[in-house]
Structures are given as C-alpha cells and as structure tokens.
C-alpha cells in the first residue's frame, strides 16, 4: 500500500536542512492549513454539485447542465456570486454574537475534518483518543447555531435555533453510544489503529449483528446531527422561512451552506472509517489473489469511494421522505433509538467477552 508518511517525512527532512526546527514546524502548519482549506472547498463544491444532480435524477429531471459540460462548474459560479454579495448586518442584532456564529460552525467543521484518515499515514491529527476528540469537537457546532439564532434578533431564527439545539444534543447521545459499541469491538480509539485492524475484514462484517444495528443507528443519528434529511425542521424552508440563518447574507451565509455539506461528508467518512474500513481495501480471508488485486487500488480512492457511497445513501433518504415534526424527532431519539443503543451495547460486550465475533 502506498504510504503517505513517505511524503511527509521527505518534506520534514528537506525543511530541516534549510531552517531550524521551530520554523520548519511553523511552515508545515501553514502548508497543512492551506491544504485543509483547499480540500474543504473542493469537497464542498463536489458535494453541492453531486447533491443537485442526484436530487434532479431522483425527481425525473436534469439538474444543472448549461454551465460547463454536464453542468460541472455550476457551483464555481455559485461561489463567485456568493463572494461578491453584500454582507448586511441588521441594525438591532447582537453584533459580536451575530458575527461570531458562522465562524464557530466552520471551526467545528474544520476540527472534525482534521481527524479523518485519508490514506496510510495521511492523517492530520492522530491522537490515541481520536474518536473521543471527534465527538467532543463536533459539539462546538451547536454553539454556532444557537448563537446565530439568538443573535439575529428574529423570532423565527430563535425558534429554529432552539429546535436545532434540542435535536443535535439529543442525537449526540445516539452517535456516542454507537461509537462506544464499536470501540468495545475495536479495542482502540485511535483512527489509524482502527483502520489497520480492519486489514482482515471490515468491522461491519466482523461484528455482525450488533455492528449492523450500530451502523443503522449511527446513520440515522448522523443524519439528524447535520440537520438533513427527514430531520431538517430547524431550517425547514417551507415552514419558518429559513430558520436560524434567515438574517445572514453573502459569505456569512456561504459558511453555513458549506458547513452543512461538509458535516454530511464528515459523518459519512466516520461511518466509512469505523464500519467500512476507511482506506483499507476489501480483503476476504483466504483469497490471497483477490486481496493482492484489491491492494493495487490506492487507499484514498477506497476512502473517498466509501464516503461518497454513504453520502449517496443519506441523500437518497433525504429526497424520499418528508419531514418529521420536532416532538416526533425527539420521541424517536429518546424512546426508540436510545434504549435500542443501550441494549446493543450490552449485546456487543457479551459478544466480545465470549469471543463470538470474527
């Protein structure tokens, strides 16, 4: 397998030969920051384009197809327009909170983005409590939403933000419990270790029944975390005008828009990493020839392929189902998903202790 740490080590050595260690590290941080921003923007463009085309095909029509071949540079045009729009700050808003909110949301997005393992050796942050860090940091996004709703000085934004806050905090429990179930199986919380351990089979197959239940619960809860799909009441377009980001225009609104799609991507990539093997190719125990062929495909293609597959599943769900009401959303979490997750956790512990997994 191609190991990305070859490139990072080569870069580090060549910088060390030119400047002292401190400056080398600073320059590397800057390079990494620029890379994250570029990748973030590119992925957002691909995801938005993908959503528009996929939803068009579900709705028996063509999506954008005039701007570039098959409409592929449509979103670039959208970005140019968004950058040149006037940023209006309404008069009576709480200026500090109003301006801070989009940046909080983007901050949470970037931090979680930095945890993902794209290839062997290509993680940016690799703690030994990786999953714990991910869950902790994704909570910062809620603050951004609540600040946006409160700071906008608008009754509808406030209602939208309160709904969103209640929803996200509730569903974080389900996300946490399904991750905990998988940690019991995996034995480690470090992302690079998690992927390495799936060399002889993905955890979805290794953990059979409880892993499948955890996967489904994670997908539902992850969908609700991103305010997407059947759970998008906080920004319900046809109900409360535009929810918590009604009063934002121009690039501030652009940040909310990007962060929504990137959160979706991050939820899908975490699902792909923990359940479907991350950048690890599909290996079937016993078929060595097959495994060798699978190894030729580079790791990041596996990773992005799996992540985009899960993104497609979530988009499919969004464009099929109507919305749930807020009390139905909370009922679903507290009365159904949470007890099932707890029982599932006990089941997984039993399986690991008795060794009934593959």
Partner 1 sequence: MEIKKKTPKIKSIPYEEFQDNETLENMVKELNAGGANIVLGALDDVVNWGRSNSLWPLTFATSCCGIEFMALGAARYDMARFGFEVARSSPRQADMIMVCGTITNKMAPVLKRLYDQMADPKYVVAVGGCAVSGGPFKKSFHVVNGVDKIIPVDVYIPGCPPRPESFFYGMMQLQRKVKIEKFFGGRNKKEKREEIPTTFETEENKK
Partner 2 sequence: MEEIQVIEPVALHGEMLKLRKEKQMDYLVSLVGMDWGDEGGLGVVYLLRSTLTGENVSIKTATKDRVAPELPTVSDIWKIADFYEREVFDFYGIVFINHPDMRRLYLRNDWVGYPFRKDDDPEKENPLNMTNESTDDTTPEIEFNPDGTIKKQENVIFDDREYVVNIGPQHPSTHGVMRFRVSLEGETIKKIDPLCGYIFRAIEKMDESLTYPQTLALVDRMDYLSAHQNRHALCMCIEKAMGVEVSPRVQYIRTIMDELQRIDSHLLFYACLAMDLGGLTPFFYGFRDREKILDIFEETCGGRLIMNYNTIGGVQADIHPNFVKRVKEFIPYLRGVIHEYHDIFTNNVIVRERLVGVGLLSREDAISYGCTGGTGRASGWACDVRKRMPYGLYDKVDFKEIVYKEGDSFARYMVRMDEIMESMKIIEQLIDNIPEGPYQTKMKPIIRVPEGTYSAFVESSRGEFGVFLESHGDKTPYRLHYRSTGLPLVAAIDTICRDTKIADLIAINGSIDYVVPDIDR
Q: Which of 181, 264, 269 is nearest to 225 (CA)?
A: 264
- Measured CA to CA, the distance from residue 55 to residue 62 in angstroms comes to 9
Residue 77 binds: one of partner 2, partner 1, none (C-beta under 5 to 8 A by kind): partner 1
Q: What residue ranges bind partner 1 (CB under 8 A)?
A: 52, 56, 59-67, 71, 74, 76-81, 84-88, 237-238, 241-242, 245-250, 253
CB 101 within 8 A of CB 151: yes
Binding at 42: pick from partner 2, partner 1, none (beta carbon under 5-8 Å per type): none
Measured from the CB atom, the residue of 147 and 271 that comes closer to partner 1 is 147
Nearer to partner 1 (CB atom), residue 222 or residue 234: 234
**Cα 169 to Cα 291: distance, rounded to the nearest angstrom:** 42
Q: Where are the alpha helices (DSSP H) in 123-280?
A: 130-137, 140-151, 155-186, 191-196, 203-206, 208-225, 250-276
Closest CB to partner 1 among 11 and 79?
79
Please report how close the Cβ of residue 208 comes to partner 1 at its closest, in angstroms.
Answer: 42
| DSSP string covering 25-68 | HHHHHHHHHHHHHHHHHHHHHHHHHHHHHHHHHHTTS--S-SSS
Choose the one of partner 2, partner 1, none that binds residue 85, judging by a C-beta under 5 to 8 angstroms depending on kind: partner 1
Residue environment code for 27-37, b if the CB has 16+ CB neighbours within 10 A, otherwise e: eeeeeeeeeee
CB 229 to partner 2: min, Å:
9
Residues that bind partner 2 (CB under 8 A): 55, 58-61, 155-156, 159, 230, 232-233, 236-239, 241, 319-328
Q: Cβ of residue 121: shortest distance to partner 2, in angstroms? A: 42
How many distinct helices (H) and strands (E) make up the chain? 15, 0
Least CB distance to partner 2 at residue 239 (A): 5
CB of 82 to partner 1, least distance (A): 8
Smallest distance, partner 1 to C-beta of residue 268, A:
22
Q: Which is nearer to partner 2, 22 or 60 (CB)?
A: 60
Distance CA 193, CA 304 (A): 19
Nearer to partner 2, 61 or 66 (CB): 61
Q: What is the largest CA-CA distance in the chain?
A: 68
Minimum CB distance to partner 2, residue 58 (Å)? 6
- The answer to whether the beta carbons of residues 117 and 278 sit under 8 Å apart is yes
Q: Which is nearer to partner 2, 157 or 181 (CB)?
A: 157
Q: Considering beta carbons, is residue 157 or 192 the nearer one to partner 1? A: 157
Which of partner 2, partner 1, none is residue 323 near (CB under 5 to 8 Å by kind)?
A: partner 2
Which tokens go with 184?
């019991």
Residues in the chain: 358
User: Could you tell which of partner 1, partner 2, none binds residue 253, using a CB distance below 5 to 8 A set by kind?
Assistant: partner 1
How far is residue 118's CA from residue 114's CA, in Å, rounded to a whole number? 10
């Amino acid at each position: 397998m191609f190991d990305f740490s070859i490139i990072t080590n080569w870069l580090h050595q060549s910088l060390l030969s030119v400047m002292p260690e401190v400056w080398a590290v600073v320059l590397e941080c800057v390079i990494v920051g620029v890379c994250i921003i570029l990748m973030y923007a590119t992925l957002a463009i691909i995801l938005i384009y993908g959503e528009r085309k996929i939803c068009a095909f579900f709705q028996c029509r063509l999506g954008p197809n005039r701007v570039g071949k098959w409409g592929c540079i449509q979103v670039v045009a959208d970005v140019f327009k968004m950058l040149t729009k006037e940023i209006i700050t309404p008069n009576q808003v709480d200026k500090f909170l109003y301006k801070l909110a989009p940046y909080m949301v983007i901050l949470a997005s970037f931090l979680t983005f930095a945890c993902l393992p794209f290839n062997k050796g290509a993680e940016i942050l690799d703690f030994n409590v990786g999953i714990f860090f991910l869950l902790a940091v994704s909570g910062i996004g809620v603050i951004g939403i609540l600040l946006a709703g409160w700071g906008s000085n608008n009754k509808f934004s406030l209602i939208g933000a309160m709904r969103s806050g209640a929803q996200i905090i509730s569903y974080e429990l389900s996300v946490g419990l399904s991750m905990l179930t998988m940690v019991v199986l995996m034995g480690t919380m470090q992302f690079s270790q998690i992927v390495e351990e799936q060399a002889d089979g993905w955890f979805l197959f290794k953990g059979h029944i409880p892993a499948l239940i955890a996967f489904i619960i994670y997908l539902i809860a992850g969908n609700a975390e991103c305010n997407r799909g059947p759970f998008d009441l906080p920004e319900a377009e046809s109900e409360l005008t535009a929810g918590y980001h009604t009063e934002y225009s121009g690039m501030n609104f652009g940040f909310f828009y990007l962060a929504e799609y990137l959160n979706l991507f991050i939820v899908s990539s975490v699902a792909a990493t923990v359940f479907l093997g991350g950048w690890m190719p599909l290996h079937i125990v016993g078929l060595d020839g097959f495994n060798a062929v699978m190894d030729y495909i580079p790791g990041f293609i596996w990773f992005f392929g799996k992540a985009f597959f899960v993104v497609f599943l979530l988009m499919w769900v969004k464009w099929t189902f109507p919305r749930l009401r807020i009390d139905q959303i909370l009922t679903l979490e507290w009365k159904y998903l949470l007890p099932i997750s707890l029982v599932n956790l006990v089941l997984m512990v039993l399986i690991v202790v008795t060794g009934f997994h593959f």
